[in-house]
Amino acid sequence: MAKLWSGRFSKDSSKLLDEFNASIPFDQKLWEQDIRGSKAHSDMLCEIGVLSAEDRDAIHRGLDEIACEILEGRFEFKLSDEDIHMAIEGALIERIGDAGKRLHTARSRNDQVALDFRLFVLQSNQQIRSKLCALIDTLLKIASNHTETLMPGMTHLQHAQPINFGFHLVAWCCAFKRDVERLQASYERHNYSPLGSGALAGVPYRTNRESVAHNLGFIAPTLNAMDSVSDRDFALDLLYEIAMVMMHISRVAEELVLWSSYEFGFVSFSDEYSTGSSIMPQKKNPDVAELLRGKSGRTYGNLIALLTVMKGLPLAYNKDTQEDKEGVFDSVQTALISLEILEASLQTLTIHTDRMHQMALIGHISATDLADFLVQSCGIPFREAHHITGEVVAYAESRGVDLSELAEDEILGFDSRIKTGVKQALDLHTSMNARDSLGGTSTKQTLAQIQILQQWLTLKAKDHNG
């Protein structure tokens, strides 16, 4: 069958051009969006009198048949069709004849692909947000059980101050919450329909772009036809947002890799989400976390690739934008499976609370509490308090014990101004719960943060169901 655009040409395109030019090997992924768009477009054409009701119904039946064949794996995607739009339109014409030929009235492949791709991006946006919310929910459930589980909080990867494990997990949740909010904002920003823009300048038919937009679930049509067919900001936003998600996942994965080592021993991965060594039979490797950490790189690359494609393109549509899809498809797939397997591995994670507490007794992490006690209870200027605390830490080091394990009399001997009660201030649970300021690590504050996030999740679920 001759190409649908071949009327102006006297020679067939070369096989090499067909191979180089075709996007059907990858954009066939957009078949469902293409059929949705064609149905909405045919409804509008019928509404304005370009199509008869009989032709519109024939188009819908033909598109439904094609959808069934694709779902069942019986539809043949041919390289000669070039892209998903021509593949479906050509198959439709073969089935229903002239009615199929009328479908492309008042639209161009330029606005058609802009529509299909935008629908895919918006759908993917929703899917990623759903996975993120499920991950946050899982983290909050774990955190709720560990608001009193002591562990060393770290800066520079050095023991710093006592925190509870739930507090650390809530910190992860806050990052993922920002990811959800970024995705939500871009969804609303790009939820506008480009269909009806034509090639670049609109169409000479009295179309109803508003009805098409609402039929497809958009807020409204896009404003300017030229911008509509050349805009790929919606794809770039999604790529950036996925890169951010994967960066946060990578940071979580890095901590899980560290925590699962013998040196830390805070957590153990289930056998279901671990691998072994081909030569060392004792090994149990955190490959899931390592792969999650590594996959951020490919999503960064996909973002930079599309930015580079778009940076020098004149308005309006250019064939360069055919290079917009594969990176997005890859990043979406990467994000979805990464979120799913991270949640699954966390649900089966073993948490070694005794080891966390043991490690909290290393590094004198209540030293700041001693300095604060000297300032608040003893009236000692902070600089002096800092110096005295350093001397006490050095003494504890010489004794081979943690600062919190010193007897009160030992501490009182360092300065006559030190008051009784100092020993209690150095207790790790007391230290952790003393940080009761808004956003702090105390059990009370951690529970409040968990409640706020759970309420936020409930609202998100209502918005999604609504």
At the second CATH level, the architecture of 18-105 is Orthogonal Bundle (1.10)
What pLDDT was estimated at residue 4?
56
What pLDDT was estimated at residue 283?
81
What pLDDT was estimated at residue 16?
80
What share of the chain in percent tops pLDDT 70?
A: 97
What pTM value is reported for the model? 0.93
Q: Is 350 exposed, middle or buried (0-12, 13-18, 19+ CB in 10 A)?
A: exposed
Q: Which helix (H) or strand (E) holds 87?
A: helix 84-96
Q: In the annotation, is 230 catalytic?
A: no
What pLDDT was estimated at residue 148?
98
Domain 367-426, CATH class in plain words:
mainly alpha
Question: Of 10, 156, 398, 416, which residue is the catalytic one?
Answer: 156
The Cβ of residue 361 has, within 10 Å, a number of other Cβ atoms equal to 19
Domain ranges of the chain: 18-105, 110-359, 367-426
CATH fold group of domain 110-359: Fumarase C; Chain A, domain 2 (1.20.200)
Distance CA 417, CA 379 (A): 8
The residues, any chain, with a CB within 8 Å of residue 26's CB and separated by 6 or more, are 325, 326, 329
Question: Is 307 a residue whose pLDDT tops 60?
Answer: yes
pLDDT band at 22 (very low <50, low <70, confident <90, very high): confident
What pLDDT was estimated at residue 7?
63
- At position 235, the amino acid (one-letter code) is A
What pLDDT was estimated at residue 80?
85
Distance CA 426, CA 403 (A): 7
Radius of gyration for the chain, computed over Cα atoms and rounded to the nearest angstrom: 30
Question: Of 14, 52, 261, 277, which residue is the catalytic one?
Answer: 277
Q: Which residue's structure tokens are 């759908």?
A: 123
Please say whether the beta carbons of 128 and 335 come within 8 A: yes
pLDDT band at 413 (very low <50, low <70, confident <90, very high): very high
Torsion angle of the four alpha carbons 453, 456, 462, 466, in this order, in degrees rounded to the nearest 10: -140
Q: To 5 degrees, how large is the angle CA 124–CA 129–CA 134?
A: 125
For residue range 37-95, list pLDDT tens digits in order: 999 999 999 999 999 999 999 999 999 999 999 999 999 999 888 899 999 999 999 99
Q: Which two tokens stand for residue 188?
A: 């609303």
**333 vs 16, more confident:** 333
What pLDDT was estimated at residue 10?
63
For residue range 258-271, list pLDDT tens digits in order: 999 999 999 999 98
Q: In the annotation, is 60 catalytic?
A: no
Q: Which two tokens stand for residue 307?
A: 């930015």
Question: Is 175 a residue whose pLDDT tops 80?
Answer: yes
**Given CA atoms 384, 389, 395, 397 in this order, what sign does their dihedral have?**
negative
